[in-house]
Amino acid sequence: MNRLSLTTRMSLMFMLAVTAVLTVAGLSFNNLSRHHFKMLDQQALNEKLHSTQRILGELKSIDQFSDFKPELQALLGAHRDLTALILDSDGRLLFADPGPVNVPESFRTATNDNVWEWQDQDQMFRGVTAQAIVTGQDKPLTVILIFDVTQHMSFFATLQRWFWIGLVISALVSAALGWMVASSGMRPIRQVTRVAASMSAKSLKERIPLAPVPKELQQMVLSFNAMLSRLDDAFVRLSNFSADIAHELRTPVSNLMTHTEVVLSRKRGIEDYEDNLYSNLDDLKRMSRMIDDMLFLAKSDNGLIIHENKPIDLLAVVEKLLEYYRLLADERGINLTVSGQGNVRGDVLMLHRAISNLLSNALRYTPEGQTINVDIQQKGMSTLVVVENPGEIIAPEHLEKLFDRFYRVDPARREGSPSNAGLGLSITRSIIEAHAGKIWCTSSNGQTAFHLELPCPEMD
């Protein structure tokens, strides 16, 4: 079963709310109006009753009743819808204006002065029964005053009928207005839907304008625009990454093809074939390393890197690496030093690789006869490793991009060296982040430093 749309449900809710409010207001008005008219009738009846009781109280005997009839007629006959009956103690009719009315017996004997109501076919009556004391009479007279309120009831019946007709019309109108309001309010959502439906790799720059969006939906639109920005950034990086992969693989593949075509151009000796195979092997190794690095980064992006969690003495790791790189450094007269110490928990091989990448970069860009220093510091709940080397400074706009894949500060050196594919710093960042750490670079005053911050192992 298909559920109603949000616009339809909001319209129905708006219609029900308006209908409920109008119903409560109409019923309240009807009850208050009825009560108001009843109180007016009761007030008029009580005034006539008190005036009648005062006149009858002036009688010296029942024999003088005929002398007071004109006064009673003047009092009681002024109201067009009023009927007045006066009965003696035996129930005989003494006065009737405008004429006798067949009043139910229960109302003839009621003497509590309360207003009663009586319906005779299509007519509605409201009256009061009371007693009047006559001087010289042992038993009082009975006074019955009756209002014909048929017109009142007819008015309320007509009012109620029009109220229900108006309620139905109001419900339909409110449903239509609710549909218009809900449809207008849902316009930003439809716009988001249109943008999402038309989204493609070429339209990731499109954004939903925030100005016409209601305040309640602005956060949703901001989140959607932020999502588009992230997708756009990810797509740009993925496109650049794909282009860089093709660019980096083009050189070794081109070398392989060229060497092979040259060797196959004519018959050669066994030594020439061996030289060509060794040359091809170097390019294949480079391609293999690049593929392994890209697979490592792909696993890192998807959170698939699982590392060991063992205690590691960083000083021992750095000293072992310096011992390896010292042979290369001595050839260029570069000194390697280490200071401080610290312990972390993690995968020793992965951290070995991360620090090795930093040392390799430092050796590549350090002038001859200078010193590369590795400083290890234990600070609070973290351990800081700083690999610092002298050389040309890196402009601030490049510092955040150094860890992007295949990124090089100098575009003219895109090819790099045969052993450098431009993935080392990206791999280093992935390793450090896999260990819940941070990495950043600073470059000023002729010194470039890479900072690794790793959490300290928990104390037992």
Tell whether the model's pLDDT for residue 263 goes beyond 70.
yes
| Tokens matching residue 312 | 């590691």
Dist. CA 440–CA 363, nearest whole Å: 18
Question: How much of the chain, in percent, has pLDDT values that exceed 90?
Answer: 10
Predicted confidence at residue 273, as pLDDT, reads 77
**What pLDDT score does 449 carry?**
92
pLDDT at 410: 58
Nearest one of 390, 365, 388 to 449, comparing CA atoms? 388
Which structure tokens are listed for 133?
Answer: 């004391």
Q: Which residue has the higher pLDDT, 337 or 265?
A: 337
Strands (DSSP E) along 133-275, which ranges? 141-148
pLDDT at 417 over 60: no
Fold of 6-170: Beta-Lactamase (3.30.450)
> Per-residue confidence at 412, pLDDT binned at 50, 70, 90?
very low
Look up residue 88 and give its amino acid: D
Say whether pLDDT at 241 is over 70: no
Weakest-pLDDT range from 100-114, 151-165, 342-356: 100-114
- Beta strand 82-87 with 93-97 is antiparallel
The pLDDT of 257-278, averaged and rounded, is: 80
Q: Of 443 and 136, which is predicted with more confidence?
A: 443
- Looking at every residue in the chain, the average pLDDT score rounds to 80
Q: 19-55, pLDDT tens digit by residue?
A: 999 899 888 988 898 888 888 888 888 888 888 888 8
CA-based nearest residue to 282, from 258, 259, 252, 262: 252
Reduce the DSSP state of residue 207 to 3 states and report it.
Answer: coil
d(CA 367, CA 390): 7
In the predicted model, what is the mean pLDDT of residues 237-250?
67
- 400-409, Cβ contacts within 8 angstroms, sequence gap of 24 or more: 402/441, 403/428, 403/429, 403/439, 404/237, 405/241, 405/244, 405/297, 406/240, 406/241, 406/244, 406/245, 406/247, 406/248
> Given a cut of 70, is residue 396 above it in pLDDT?
yes
pTM: 0.48
Question: Cα 156 to chain center, whole Å?
Answer: 49
Q: Give residue-wise pLDDT tens across range 424-453.
A: 788 788 888 888 889 999 998 889 999 999
Specify the 3-state DSSP secondary structure of 122.
Answer: coil
Q: What are phi and psi of 81, to 5 degrees?
A: -95, 10
Question: 241-244: which pairs have CB atoms within 8 A and are 24 or more residues apart?
Answer: 241/405, 241/406, 244/405, 244/406, 244/422
In this prediction, residue 305 carries a pLDDT of 64
Q: What pLDDT, in 10s, does the model give residues 73-120?
A: 888 776 777 888 888 877 788 888 877 777 777 777 766 667 888 887
pLDDT of residue 450: 92
Q: What is the mean pLDDT of residues 199-217?
A: 70
pLDDT for 374 beyond 90: yes
At 285 the pLDDT is 77
Cβ(189)–Cβ(214) below 8 Å: no
The answer to whether the CB of 299 falls within 8 A of the CB of 305 is yes
| pLDDT confidence band for 2 (50 / 70 / 90) | low
Break the chain into its structural domains and give their ranges. Answer: 6-170, 215-301, 310-455
**Per-residue pLDDT averaged across 199-222, rounded?**
72
- Range 273-282 contact pairs with CB under 8 angstroms and sequence separation of 24 or more: 279/255, 280/255, 280/256, 282/418
- pLDDT tens for 274-310 read 878 877 787 787 777 767 666 666 666 656 566 667 8
Please give the Cα distance from 59 to 86 (Å, whole number): 14
List, in order, residues 6 or more apart from 382 with CB less than 8 Å away. 437, 453, 454, 455, 456
Domain spanning 215-301, CATH architecture? Orthogonal Bundle (1.10)
DSSP letter at 96?
E
Task: Give the closest residue to 437 by CA, choosing from 458, 422, 423, 451.
Answer: 451
- Mean pLDDT value of segment 144-163: 85
pLDDT in tens, 323-334: 888 888 888 899
Q: How confident is the model over 417-425, as a mean pLDDT?
A: 60
Q: What is the pLDDT of residue 304?
A: 59
pLDDT(170) > 50: yes
Helix, strand, coil % over all residues of the chain, rounded to 5: 55, 20, 25
310-455 CATH choice from 3.10.28.10, 3.40.50.720, 3.30.565.10, 3.40.50.300: 3.30.565.10
Q: What SS3 string covers 256-307?
A: HHHHHHHHHCCCCCHHHHHHHHHHHHHHHHHHHHHHHHHHHHHHHHCCCCCC
d(CA 308, CA 313): 14
**Is the distance from CB of 85 to CB of 144 less than 8 angstroms?**
yes
- Residue 165 corresponds to which tokens in the numbers above? 């007709």
Tell me how far apart the alpha carbons of residues 449 and 388 are, in angstroms, rounded to a whole number: 4
As a whole number of angstroms, the distance between CA 401 and CA 429 comes to: 12
Q: Is 408 helix (H, G, I), strand (E, B) or coil?
A: coil
In the chain, what is the greatest distance between 2 CA atoms, to the nearest angstrom? Answer: 164
